[in-house]
Amino acid sequence: MSDQSLELKGSLFPLSVLSCPDLSLNALQQQLQQKLAQAPAFFYQAPIVLNLTEVEQAPDFDAIKQLFNELNLVLVGVCGANSSIKQQAQRAGLAALQLGKDAKTVKATDTAETPRQTTLVTNNVAVPMDSRIIEQTVRSGQQVYAKGADLVVKGTVGAGAEVIADGNIHIYGTLRGKAIAGAGGDSSKRIFCYNLQAELVSIAGNYWLSESLQGSFWGKPCCIKLQDDQLVLAELV
Amino acid sequence: MAKIIVVTSGKGGVGKTTSSAAIGTGLALKGHKTVIIDFDIGLRNLDLIMGCERRVVYDFVNVINGEANLKQTLIKDKRIDNLFILPASQTRDKDALTKDGVERVLNELAKDFDFILCDSPAGIEAGAMMALYFADEAIVVTNPEVSSVRDSDRILGMLSSKSRRAEQGQDSIKEHLLLTRYNPERVEKGEMLSVDDVKEILSIDLVGVIPESQAVLNASNSGQPVILDKDSDAGQAYLDTVERLLGENVPFRFLTVEKKGLLKRIFGG
Ligand SMILES: Nc1ncnc2c1ncn2[C@@H]1O[C@H](COP(=O)(O)OP(=O)(O)OP(=O)(O)O)[C@@H](O)[C@H]1O
Ligand SMILES: [Mg+2]
Q: What is the DSSP string of A175-235?
A: E-SEEEESTTS-TT--EEEEEE--SEEEETTEEEEHHHH-STTBTS-EEEEEETTEEEEE-
Whole-number Å distance between alpha carbons of B214 and B226: 10
Instruction: Determine which of B65, B201, B204 to mutate to test the interface with A (most A C-beta atoms within 10 Å).
Output: B201
> Which tens digit of pLDDT belongs to each residue from B238-253?
999 999 999 999 999 9
More confident residue, B140 or B42: B140
Q: Are B132 and B6 in contact (CB under 8 A)?
A: yes
> Which tens digit of pLDDT belongs to each residue from B56-99?
999 999 999 999 999 999 999 999 999 999 999 877 776 788 99
Lowest mean pLDDT among A7-11, A57-61, A230-234: A7-11
Cβ contacts (< 8 Å) between B124 and chain A: which residues?
141
CB contact under 8 A, B154 and A173: no
Coil, strand, or helix at residue A29?
helix
In chain A, what percentage of residues exceed pLDDT 70? Answer: 81
Q: What is the mean pLDDT of residues B231-239?
A: 98
Nearest-by-CA chain A residue for B97? A1
Give the amino acid at B25.
T
Whole-number Å distance between alpha carbons of A145 and B47: 45
Computed on alpha carbons and rounded to an integer, the radius of gyration of chain A in Å comes to 19
Q: Are B226 and B232 in contact (CB under 8 A)?
A: yes
Distance of CA A51 to the CA centre of its chain: 14
Whole-number Å distance between alpha carbons of A177 and A45: 20
Whole-number Å distance between alpha carbons of A199 and A202: 10
CB contact under 8 A, B150 and A140: yes
Tell me which residue in A1, A141, A173 faces B157 most closely, judged by beta carbons.
Answer: A141
Q: Are A153 and A172 in contact (CB under 8 A)?
A: yes
Whole-number Å distance between alpha carbons of B217 and A48: 55
> Which tens digit of pLDDT belongs to each residue from B135-185?
999 999 999 999 999 999 999 999 999 999 999 999 999 999 999 999 999
Tell me which residue in B126, B153, B203 faces A140 most closely, judged by beta carbons.
Answer: B153
Q: How far is A161 from chain B (nearest CA, A)?
A: 9
Helix (H) or strand (E) run with residue B218 in it: helix B214-221
Instruction: Determine which of A4, A5, A11, A137 to mutate to test the interface with B (most B C-beta atoms within 10 Å).
Output: A137
Instruction: Evaluate if residue A57 carries a pLDDT over 70.
Output: yes
What local confidence, expressed as pLDDT, does residue A84 receive? 87
Q: How far is B165 from chain A (nearest CA, A)?
A: 16
Lowest mean pLDDT among A60-64, A122-126, A198-202, B144-148: A122-126
Burial (CB < 10 A; 0-12, 13-18, 19+), residue B190, is exposed
Q: Are B99 and B39 in contact (CB under 8 A)?
A: no
Whole-number Å distance between alpha carbons of B236 and B128: 28
More confident residue, A72 or B79: B79
Of A190, A195, A192, A200, give the one whose Cα is nearest residue A227: A190
Of B10, B224, B26, B6, give the one whose Cα is nearest residue B116: B6
Instruction: Evaluate if residue A46 carries a pLDDT over 90.
Output: no
Q: What angle do CA B219, B220, B222 make, to 5 degrees?
A: 70
Q: Are A131 and A150 in contact (CB under 8 A)?
A: yes
Burial (CB < 10 A; 0-12, 13-18, 19+), residue B165, is middle
Cβ contacts (< 8 Å) between A156 and chain B: which residues?
201, 203
Tell me which residue in A142, A155, A159 faces B203 most closely, judged by beta carbons.
Answer: A155
Ligand 1: which of B16, B18, B124, B142 to mutate, most ligand atoms within 8 Å of CB? B18
Task: Report all structural domains of chain A as residue ranges with CATH numbers, in order of start.
Answer: 16-107 (3.30.70.260), 130-234 (2.160.20.70)
What local confidence, expressed as pLDDT, does residue B268 receive? 53
Distance of CA B85 to the CA centre of its chain: 13
Instruction: Determine which of A135, A140, A176, A195 to mutate to test the interface with B (most B C-beta atoms within 10 Å).
Output: A140
ipTM of predicted complex: 0.72
The DSSP call for residue A162 is: E
**Mean of pLDDT over chain B:** 93
In chain A, what percentage of residues exceed pLDDT 90? Answer: 39
Q: Is the pTM of this model over 0.80?
A: no
> Which tens digit of pLDDT belongs to each residue from A86-100?
888 988 889 888 775
What local confidence, expressed as pLDDT, does residue A126 receive? 45
**Mean of pLDDT over chain A:** 82
> Which tens digit of pLDDT belongs to each residue from A121-179?
434 334 467 899 999 899 998 999 999 999 999 999 999 999 999 999 999 999 999 99
Protein residues with C-beta less than 5 angstroms from the ion ligand 2:
B 16-17, 45
Cβ contacts (< 8 Å) between A155 and chain B: which residues?
203
Would you call B222 an interface residue with chain A, using a CB distance cutoff of 8 Å? no
Nearest-by-CA chain B residue for A155? B203
Instruction: Evaluate if residue A116 carries a pLDDT over 50.
Output: no
Whole-number Å distance between alpha carbons of A108 and A106: 6
Q: Within a 10 A sphere around the Cβ of B98, how many other Cβ atoms?
A: 16
Q: Whose CA is nearest to atom 7 of ligand 1?
A: B181
Q: Within a 10 A sphere around the Cβ of B71, how many other Cβ atoms?
A: 7
